[in-house]
Structure formats: C-alpha cells, structure tokens
Structure 1
Amino acid sequence: MKKIALAVLLASGLIAADSGNYIGIDIGNTKFDMKASAAGVSAEESDDGGSATFKLGYYYDKNSRAFISYQNINVDGGDAYYAGIGYDYLIGDNDIKPFVGGFVGYGSAEVDDLADLDISGVVYGAQAGVNYAINENFSVEAGYRYMKSNMEDTITVSGVDVKLEIDPISNWFVGVNYKF
C-alpha cells in the first residue's frame, strides 16, 4: 500500500510540473485585405506590416494551454490591434512539438487621416506551428495564424456612404515563452 501511495504522489508531482502559468512574446508579419464598397462599386487593397504579440497563459498539462493575447500591427497610415483568448493543443511528448489551436477576440484598425474611422469587430481563427522546449521554463516557437473577421465601418465621403471591411488576416510569427 505504501508503494502505491508513493507512486501516486510521484505521478501527481510529475503532472504538476507540466502545468503552470506562462508569458510569451512573438514578432512577425501580418497581412490583411481591406475592401471598400459604395454605390455598387468595390475595390480591394492589401496591407502588411510588422506585428508584435504579447501572451499570458496557462499550461494545463504538457499538451494543452490556454492564453489571452494582444497583438499590435503596424499598418500604413494607422494603427491596428487584436485582443482575444485562445487554446492550443501541443502534439507529442518530445521537446519539439507541433501545435494547433483556435482563438476568438476583437480587432480594430484606425487610419490617422480619418479621425472618425474605426474598422472594428469580431476576429476568429486558427493557428499552427512548432514549439521547441529549450528547458522546463523556456521554449521558442514559430507558426502561422489565419483569421477571419467581421471588422467593418461605414464613412461618408462627399455625401456617399462607403463601407470598409477587413477580411481575411494572416500572420507569420516567431516567439519565445517563459513558463513559471
């Protein structure tokens, strides 16, 4: 009986070692398509720029984690950001683990020259990548995020209503995480 109790205690200690809070940051390139439409005429334009993402999360075990994140995106003539929550599943038992996940949140883009323009709405998507555990506290990762959104706003230009929409959004990234 003592051996079983000892084995349970050791196993629970190993499981607890896999869980814990973490903080992460990644940098990358984010691209999005913007569509403008008015009076039956539409035009599309793409914009891309550097991005930085800050994450705060929790490892439930060695293969699953949840997080909140904030991503700042550099765009031509304005600012854009995304804030949300997500979940990743890390595949395998090795130091190198592929991961897949999903997320949902709120996104907003503003143009400096148009003070009343705020293209905003729900953003959701999926991500995939590879995570490498350097040691039990530090890991590095690289991946790709694909996002859909209902981000939109309508402005009036010379008496004509112009609807602006952003969709889709894609992001390549590399980052580092610290588990404490």
Structure 2
Amino acid sequence: MSVYIILFRGVGGATQLPVAKLREALTAAGFENVATYINSGNAVVKSALGHEKVVETIAGICRRTFKFDKAIYAITLAEWTKLIASNPFKNATEPGNLLHAAWLAEKPKAADVKALEDLADNGDRFAVVGKIAYLHTPNGFSKSKLSEKFDKKIGVPNTARNWNTVLKLEELAEKAK
C-alpha cells in the first residue's frame, strides 16, 4: 500500500471539485484513508494500485462524476518528502505563502529555466531541482513577474502549491500511512 498526494491542476474559480463528494467518490472506488485539503485541488489517498492506475482511476471518477478533465498528478509520500527536503530556499519558508513548489510533468529545457531565472527580480528567486520548480516571491506571488510568466515559460505541464499547502499535505499523508 502506498500513500499518494493527489494534485488536480486548474481547480479554483469556475472549476471546482466539491471536496465532500470527491472524498465519497474516492472512498467508494476503494481508496483508503482519503482526505482532502481546501477546495483547490488537493487530496491524499492510500492504495495498493500502482501510480498509473491511481491516476487513471481518479481521472475517470473526475470525468464521470464532476466533468473535470484536467491534469492529475499522483505523488508518493516519499517523493513529497524529497520535494520538501530538496527545497533550495530553506530560509524562505515563513511566511509559507511566499514560497511555492511546482510539480513538473517532466524536466524542463535548460533554455526555459534560464528564461525564468532572468525574470527573477525584486528579490524573487527561482530554482529547478529534478522535476520540482521552487519559486520564492518575497514581495508576493501576485506581484511577481516571475510567477506571472512561470506557467507558460516553464514549457512543461505543472501544478504549484504554496509552502503552507505543501506542509499540510505532508501532514495529511503521514496520517494516511
């Protein structure tokens, strides 16, 4: 049995996944220790299924039940723990809304990383470690040119969470073991 942190891309605004119904649907599908965190596309499940089958099963539930057909990422607790440990900006975790970790579907091209590094100004910092991009925006995520351009310029599908959410998902995943 593995614990997976499930990240749904593009939840918020007009696109919603009702968390109570999502928990019910995931539990009914056989996932164990299901938990959700805030209404922005985060869940934790425990399953004997492999990674691809977890994503496939959850994607099917979301399409059928919620008409949600966007990217879904399933990250093991071990991978999530590594994401936290690999944070190159350890002195930037407070407040947690100014540091973001983006799970990347694949490693981005060096030129795309360089283009984003060049956008970092006003104290912004950016680094890619493996398939994780870390963005520290000390003046606020919404005020950062780096964060504004990140999604299009990184060149690979991704979904980001602020550090508060990263730590809360780790806590929920630990409880799900």
Query: Which structure carries more helix by proportion?
Result: 2
TM-score (norm 1): 0.24
Which of 1 and 2 has higher RCO (CA within 8 Å, sep 6+)?
2
TM-score (norm 2): 0.24
**Radius of gyration: which is bigger?**
1
